[in-house]
Amino acid sequence: MLVLAILASVLVVMIHATSIVSGFTPYGHRPAVFLASLAFGMFLLSFFNPWKHRLWRELGMAQAYLVALFTEMFGLPLTIYFLTSAFGARIGLGGEEGHLWATLLARTGALPLSSGVALVMTASVVLITLGITLIVLGWRDIYRAEGL
């Protein structure tokens, strides 16, 4: 099951990458939403063996989060939809306009859109790396703890 999840994940990345390279918008890919939700759902199911009703409920909540995440990522960008309807802002559905902080920096005149995207992506990588480092250090302390 884990192998199927990995293969489906690779397929989702390929669908998303080909859409960006070919110049299409990264949104509106319902097959990618379905495949990514299915792949990561199988990945969750391979780690958790839900044999109680409560465990199935928790797995269902995790799967609902994944479906919402991948719908926002590949399907309909709800954040952009709500911002455009609430504030009347015109935000495109292209690849660079999907980075809302970069779009905000471009609209205020602080940075051009491409520089804003580079800044936002760099900040994201730094924050993700910091988060992973904190997790590794925390798990190392937990692993070394005695008497618990």
Check whether residue 57 and residue 103 sit in a common domain.
no
Check whether residue 54 and residue 105 sit in a common domain.
no
Is 46 contained in some domain?
A: yes
Q: Is the pLDDT of residue 2 over 90?
A: no
Q: Is the pLDDT of residue 48 over 70?
A: yes
Is 88 contained in some domain?
A: no
Q: How many domains does the chain have?
A: 2
Segment holding 89, helix H or strand E = none
Mean pLDDT across the stretch 17-27? 55
Is 83 contained in some domain?
A: no
Is 86 contained in some domain?
A: no
Check whether residue 118 and residue 144 sit in a common domain.
yes
Amino acid at 30: R
Check whether residue 61 and residue 14 sit in a common domain.
yes
Check whether residue 71 and residue 105 sit in a common domain.
no
Residue 125 domain boundaries: 93-148
Q: How far is CA 147 from CA 70, 75, 142, 143, 144, in A?
A: 41, 48, 11, 11, 10
CA 76 to chain centre: 13
Global pTM exceeds 0.75: no
Is 85 contained in some domain?
A: no
Mean pLDDT across the stretch 119-138? 90
Check whether residue 72 and residue 3 sit in a common domain.
yes
Is 82 contained in some domain?
A: no
Check whether residue 18 and residue 70 sit in a common domain.
yes
Check whether residue 107 and residue 59 sit in a common domain.
no
pLDDT at residue 130 in the model: 93
